[in-house]
A and B are shown apart, each in its own frame.
Chain A
Amino acid sequence: MNIVVCVKQVPDSTEVKINPETGHLIRAGVPSIINPYDHYALQAALELKAKHNFKVTLVSMGPPQAKSVVQMGMALGADEGILLSDMAFAGSDTWSTSYALAKAIKKIGKVDMILAGMQAIDGDTAQTGPGVAQQLGIPQITFCEQVEVDGRRVIARKQIDGGYEVLEARPPVLLTMIMTKDYTPRYPSFLAVSASLKKPFHVWSAADVGAEAHFLGLKGSPTQVSRIYPPPQREKAAMFSGSGQEGAGKILEIMRSEHFVE
């Protein structure tokens, strides 16, 4: 089987802060990382590769510096890397991004399974995976905890509200992965990184994948960001510290004053 893993480079949103005075985002010093959900999806793909000897190809869309996440993925064991990079993609929303990624996957050719993180931590939309599946006309299984392959059957355990489902599909199929300890991601060694530099890596433009300009960027994106602003500030918590006895007493007092207990 041939597996494609979609990966995105994102700012580490846990490190992004707001300047309380100006209300602007403080980005300085915020590292760019592989989207954590994609990191888990990659690990799932690599485990399938180890078990079944599948080929794993990475696809990312982003500015030239996004090469680093593709490189890291190859150092971890992916066989080939593709970066979609073109000014024509600037301002693409999830629809246009799905369109471009689907075009790239079509160009790759025979693909049996596509894995992606359930969402990226910068936008948190969870829309690009299903968008790619739709553009390719293939089925999707979203929010998967586990994936197995048995001959030509793809079996996935999917999270549902308050439980799980086990689902089956035939390839080609797209799966989006949540973060579970079964696929705890790894980081490559320095040696693995230098060895991966020999692996095939390509940068493709919009023209290379046959993506039409009017479906890309701001022009092709159905949604537009009209304004960004800091979230409303919450009031500071009323703080208290003390021993176990005192802490317990304080919680009881709070629950009484808020009428949760008599």
Chain B
Amino acid sequence: MIEVSNKCIGCTKCVPVCPFAAINMISKKAVMNEACTLCGACVQVCPVQAITITREEASAKDFSGYKGVWVYVELTETGDKTHPKKIKPVTFELLGAARKLADELREEVCAVLLTDKDHNYAKDLGAYGADKVYMVEHDELFEYNTDIFSTVIVGLVNRHKPSSMLYGATIQGRDLAPRVASTLYVGLTADCTALAIKDGLLLQSRPAFGGNIMADILAPNSRPQMSTVRPNVMKMNEPVVGRTAVVVREGAKLDKSLRRVKVLERKIAHDAAGVKIETAGVIVSGGRGMKTKEKFKQLEELSKLLGGVVGASRAAVDLGFKDKTHQVGQSGTTVSPKLYLSFGISGAVQHIVGMKASDVIVAVNKDPNAPIFNVAKYGIVGDAHEIVPKLIEALKKR
């Protein structure tokens, strides 16, 4: 509940700070409308402490039976059944984060693995921090399917009652986790950038408003507390060779009729060397400022010289300069290479959230006020069309 007491002096200071435009002044008094999320921004600025937020008492529910920090193991879709699927790096990053949380809670880290065929996955999962692996091996799990995977996960959660569960904020994790959370009626926080334990609860920090604001989120009244975390955000632990996880095999009854969505075709693009943009160490990226497809091609050459992969802003993809599989940003891929070199990208929020975790960002743009310079380590105000050929020339000369 949010309440405004009669201490309110009608100063209107709270109105502009509300991120949700939820405050109206009615008869010189602040009144909250239904857009209010009880975030408390107004409470912080009120000079007369007229605004109070009272939260429901913590649930009387007993959660002492919920133990363990779970990590959903995501496997690569190879599109080729002869090659064993690999565990995605984000899984190991999550195991590192889960390890810290579990140690603080004195609980176990459990990896949850759904596959049609085990390839001794437990060895790596153990080395990266899992104490236990719940494994479901079933022919129907040969590829990701929302209905089938969520059904299995919901069953495991109901049976073993974890206190928390983490998923990669990947295309797959962001499809699966909300379906599971909705079924279980539990809290789910998307795209967490930090996780901690506060009074026994999972404190989840995440950006909102395109990264303009941070929010700490709690889910005190339901279990498990669930989060998704973007790839390349958490630090992977060094694997401990020989550290083993106990494998617990779980059965699942899966009827074919559960598969309501069918895959007709799957295509995964690689660059010539087979490097994918999400794992590239160097990315040379271009935007609208590259002007034409031909000029954009120069970035290919530059990228080759640096051993990198070409990236593109949404504008560049929309203009047909580059295939969508190379798009960096909110509706493309999130990347965090060691070097991100951008040319002619102004830096819309949607682009920046997808690349700002890069170690070193060097941005070239004509406009000295381009927002890309706010996240860059080095900014070059200049003409990409002049700089790129000269840079290629200089690199070739070495």
Determine the chain B residues whose CB is within 8 A of the CB of A26 once the complex forms.
Answer: 16
> B190's closest neighbor in chain A, by CB?
A125
In the complex, A118 has a CB within 8 A of chain B:
yes
In the complex, B265 has a CB within 8 A of chain A:
yes
Knowing A27-B18, A126-B174, A261-B398, the reply to whether A14 touches B34 (Cβ < 8 A) is: no
Q: Is B34 touching A169 in the complex (CB atoms < 8 A)?
A: no
Among B77, B179, B350, B364, the one with the most A-chain Cβ atoms within 10 Å of its Cβ is B179
In the complex, A62 has a CB within 8 A of chain B:
yes
In the complex, A38 has a CB within 8 A of chain B:
no
> B361's closest neighbor in chain A, by CB?
A237
In the complex, A123 has a CB within 8 A of chain B:
yes
Min CB distance B145 to A, Å, is 9
In the complex, A200 has a CB within 8 A of chain B:
no
Determine the chain B residues whose CB is within 8 A of the CB of A180 once the complex forms.
Answer: 318, 324
Determine the chain B residues whose CB is within 8 A of the CB of A158 once the complex forms.
Answer: 171
Please choose the segment from A42-50, A69-77, A248-256 that sits at the chain B interface, where 4 or more of its residues have CB less than 8 A away: A248-256
> B326's closest neighbor in chain A, by CB?
A162
Min CB distance A206 to B, Å, is 10
Knowing A161-B171, A178-B331, A225-B39, the reply to whether A87 touches B34 (Cβ < 8 A) is: yes
In the complex, B80 has a CB within 8 A of chain A:
no
A residues contacting the other copy or chain, number (CB 8 A): 105
Q: Is B262 touching A168 in the complex (CB atoms < 8 A)?
A: yes
B residues contacting the other copy or chain, number (CB 8 A): 119
In the complex, B301 has a CB within 8 A of chain A:
no
* Whole-angstrom CA separation of A141 from B118 in the bound complex: 27
Pair count A-B, CB < 8 A = 347
* Whole-angstrom CA separation of A158 from B35 in the bound complex: 32
Partner of B210 from the list A14, A62, A221 (CB cut-off 8 Å) is: A14
> B338's closest neighbor in chain A, by CB?
A260
Interface residues of A in 112-136 (CB under 8 A from B): 118-119, 121-131, 133-135
Min CB distance B304 to A, Å, is 13
Q: Is A244 touching B34 in the complex (CB atoms < 8 A)?
A: no
Q: Is B390 touching A247 in the complex (CB atoms < 8 A)?
A: yes
Determine the chain A residues whose CB is within 8 A of the CB of B338 once the complex forms.
Answer: 260
Q: Is B182 touching A131 in the complex (CB atoms < 8 A)?
A: yes
Interface residues of A in 230-251 (CB under 8 A from B): 230-231, 234-235, 237-251
Q: Is A252 touching B212 in the complex (CB atoms < 8 A)?
A: no
Q: Is B40 touching A163 in the complex (CB atoms < 8 A)?
A: no
Determine the chain B residues whose CB is within 8 A of the CB of A17 once the complex forms.
Answer: 212
In the complex, A139 has a CB within 8 A of chain B:
yes
Determine the chain A residues whose CB is within 8 A of the CB of B376 once the complex forms.
Answer: 237
Q: Is B362 touching A254 in the complex (CB atoms < 8 A)?
A: yes
Q: Is B213 touching A95 in the complex (CB atoms < 8 A)?
A: no
Interface residues of B in 23-82 (CB under 8 A from A): 32-41, 44-45, 55-56, 77
Binary A-proximity of B154-188 (CB < 8 A = 1, otherwise 0): 00000000000000001110110111011101111
* Whole-angstrom CA separation of A206 from B328 in the bound complex: 40
* Whole-angstrom CA separation of A142 from B147 in the bound complex: 13
Knowing A90-B35, A127-B178, A141-B261, the reply to whether A228 touches B215 (Cβ < 8 A) is: yes
* Whole-angstrom CA separation of A226 from B202 in the bound complex: 12
Q: Is B216 touching A133 in the complex (CB atoms < 8 A)?
A: no
In the complex, A33 has a CB within 8 A of chain B:
no
> B376's closest neighbor in chain A, by CB?
A237
Q: Is A228 touching B189 in the complex (CB atoms < 8 A)?
A: no
* Whole-angstrom CA separation of A261 from B341 in the bound complex: 13
Determine the chain A residues whose CB is within 8 A of the CB of B377 once the complex forms.
Answer: 235, 237-238
Determine the chain A residues whose CB is within 8 A of the CB of B214 once the complex forms.
Answer: 228-231
Min CB distance B193 to A, Å, is 9
Among B34, B181, B306, the one with the most A-chain Cβ atoms within 10 Å of its Cβ is B34
Q: Is B339 touching A258 in the complex (CB atoms < 8 A)?
A: yes
> A260's closest neighbor in chain B, by CB?
B339
In the complex, B381 has a CB within 8 A of chain A:
yes
* Whole-angstrom CA separation of A231 from B210 in the bound complex: 11
* Whole-angstrom CA separation of A108 from B282 in the bound complex: 51
Interface residues of A in 130-185 (CB under 8 A from B): 130-131, 133-135, 139-143, 145, 155, 158-170, 173, 178-181, 184
Determine the chain A residues whose CB is within 8 A of the CB of B339 once the complex forms.
Answer: 255, 258, 260
* Whole-angstrom CA separation of A235 from B22 in the bound complex: 33
Determine the chain A residues whose CB is within 8 A of the CB of B182 once the complex forms.
Answer: 95, 98, 130-131, 134-135
* Whole-angstrom CA separation of A169 from B331 in the bound complex: 23
Please choose the segment from B98-106, B240-248, B266-274, B287-295 that sits at the chain A interface, where 4 or more of its residues have CB less than 8 A away: B266-274
Q: Is A260 touching B282 in the complex (CB atoms < 8 A)?
A: yes
Q: Is A223 touching B187 in the complex (CB atoms < 8 A)?
A: yes
Partner of A169 from the list B21, B178, B190, B261 (CB cut-off 8 Å) is: B261
Partner of B380 from the list A93, A164, A179, A250 (CB cut-off 8 Å) is: A250
Min CB distance A224 to B, Å, is 5
Q: Is A91 touching B179 in the complex (CB atoms < 8 A)?
A: no
Q: Is A27 touching B170 in the complex (CB atoms < 8 A)?
A: no
In the complex, B374 has a CB within 8 A of chain A:
yes
Min CB distance B192 to A, Å, is 11
Determine the chain A residues whose CB is within 8 A of the CB of B36 once the complex forms.
Answer: 90-91
Determine the chain B residues whose CB is within 8 A of the CB of A165 once the complex forms.
Answer: 263-267
* Whole-angstrom CA separation of A158 from B263 in the bound complex: 10
Binary B-proximity of A8-25 (CB < 8 A = 1, otherwise 0): 000101101110001011
Q: Please list 8 pairs of residues, one from A and one from B, whose beta carbons are closer than 8 Å in the complex, sorted by A's number.
A: A95-B182, A131-B179, A160-B171, A161-B333, A227-B215, A237-B377, A248-B388, A251-B387
Tell me the B residues contacting A by CB distance below 8 Å: 1, 16-22, 32-41, 44-45, 55-56, 77, 146-147, 150, 170-172, 174-175, 177-179, 181-183, 185-191, 203, 207-222, 260-270, 276-278, 282, 306, 314, 317-318, 324-325, 330-331, 333, 338-339, 341, 348-350, 353, 360, 362-364, 368, 373-383, 385-391, 393-395, 398
